Amino acid sequence: MLEILSHTGFRKLFAAQVIALLGTGLATVALALLAFDLAGAQAGQVLGLALTIKMIVYVLLSPVSGAIVPAHRRKIVLVGLDVIRALVVLVLPFVTEIWQIYVLIAVLQSASACFTPLFQALIPQILPDEARYTRALSLSRLAYDLESLLSPALAAALLTVVAFQGLFVGTSVGFLLSAMLILSTTFPAGMRSAASGRPYDRAIRGMKIYLRTPRLRGLLLLNLCAAAGGAMVFVNTVVVARTVLQGGEREVAWLLAAFGVGSMLVALSLPPLLERITDRRIMLSAATTMTLVLIMATVYWFGVGGTPAWGAVVAIWLLLGMCYAGLVTPGGRLIRRSGAEEDLPFLFAAQFSLSHACWLLAYPIAGFLGAEFGLAAALGILSIVALLSAVLARAAWSSNDPEQIAHTHEDLPADHPHLGQGGKQHVHRYVIDDLHSRWPP
């Protein structure tokens, strides 16, 4: 897997991603502790609302980010967004009211909502070979796991010498280093500009392609399953560690790290598995396991009367991390094979927006239900969400999912880029069933 780092452009971008995510992980721990400092046992509700605001911003802004930024401007835009994030994070240590958290989170995540789809769409253009791109996806997944593994561990170490407000400084430094690495990266000279049309129309086209592609409809439902398990971890870890288990600040960090360990173990094993087993089988198996883990956790939580053991919680968080990685890591492969190069920024933006709409549902369940009715009740509802999404994903994403299919483009305009590849009827590597294609009988 690591041989992919021999590619200079990807190596720099991967380093930028790792550094930025390490900083983001520090901010995740610091924000949880800040919420607990201001709201006490209601910290889960505060975090739930803050993360809900984050998801609203992502859903609204990310679809148009790829559409409004031309290819030749992506570098300067990515650098500028990193600088904005660095400056906003520096203000968080001075927050004294809960409403100030909500405002700053909205500004910070507006920048992230524009940054991430642009960054994700850049990788397949730098690495056009699918085998290399698959390895890059797994490394990228590992980078995200650093946010839930190494960052909490680093936060636990730093908290022995600094107050939690100092963790925000580390986040700001991470964003600035990320900006410097992106600035030094040579972007592909042949990168295509955004397709013709107004930005809104291009963004809507990405949504249409996504929602009318069977495998991507399945991916969306699997994103909801992943959100059901992930929301419990990201929203309620601080409540579980500090209130239920009577731990301290470092225990919050270590419990988050357990989730990251599970995710990293699966992400490391996926590249060879994906060479022998289909994406569909792996992702649906992860969804089934995620559902079972949530159901068993619900039964356990009710059975012990809301006072679980440390070992049991660590095991649950570890298993949720393993399932989460199995659900989300292969997603980029599905998007890449479902669209032409000129549509990839819009497809990645659609994935970013729609997947975060799933979190928009899961975060309030984990936060508000957990605060009002207890963590066992939140686990129960999240189990139902995971079960329904896993069942519907299996139905939406047929096992007969050929990578190539012949179809026609009778209804497309003459200047559409697809028509330059062989006329009205030809074979694509992707499948769009009722946008502009016809399934064979």
Identify whether 424 is part of a domain.
no
pTM of the model: 0.69
What per-residue string of b and e applies to 9-35 under the rule 16 or more CB within 10 Å gives b? bbebbbbbbbbbbbbbbbbbbbbbbbb
Predicted local distance difference test score (pLDDT) of residue 431:
42
Residue 13, in any domain of the structure: yes
Tell me the residue range of the domain where 190 lies: 2-396
Q: Is residue 414 part of a domain?
A: no
Question: Distance between CA atoms of 62 and 350, rounded to whole angstroms?
Answer: 7
> Residue 424 phi/psi, 5° resolution?
-70, -30
DSSP 146-206: HHHTHHHHHHHHHTTTS-GGGHHHHHHHHHHHHHHHHHTS---TTPPPPPSS-HHHHHHHH
Hey, how many other C-beta atoms are within 10 angstroms of the C-beta on 157?
A: 12
Total of domains in the chain: 1
416 within domain boundaries:
no
Asked whether 293 and 316 are in contact (CB, 8 A), the reply is yes
Tell me whether residue 209 is in a domain: yes
Does the residue 121 lie in any domain?
yes
Q: What are phi and psi of 406, to 5 degrees?
A: -75, 140
406 assigned to some structural domain = no
In-domain check, residue 435: no
Judged by DSSP in three states, 253 sits in: helix
Cβ atoms of residues 372 and 236 within 8 Å: no
Provide the CA 192 distance to its chain's centre, in angstroms.
25
pLDDT 10s digit of each residue in the chain, 441 long?
566 777 788 888 888 878 887 777 677 777 777 777 777 767 777 777 777 787 787 777 766 666 676 667 778 888 998 999 899 888 888 888 888 888 888 888 888 877 877 777 777 777 777 677 767 766 665 566 555 556 656 666 677 677 777 788 888 888 899 899 888 887 776 555 444 455 556 667 778 888 888 899 999 999 999 999 999 988 888 888 888 888 877 788 788 888 888 888 887 888 788 888 888 999 999 999 999 999 999 999 888 876 788 899 999 999 999 999 899 888 878 887 787 766 766 777 778 778 878 888 898 888 888 878 888 899 999 999 999 999 999 999 887 765 554 444 444 445 444 444 444 444 444 444 433 332 222
pLDDT for the residue 420? 44
CA quadruple 168, 169, 174, 175: dihedral positive or negative?
positive
pLDDT at 407: 42
CATH number (domain holding residue 377): 1.20.1250.20
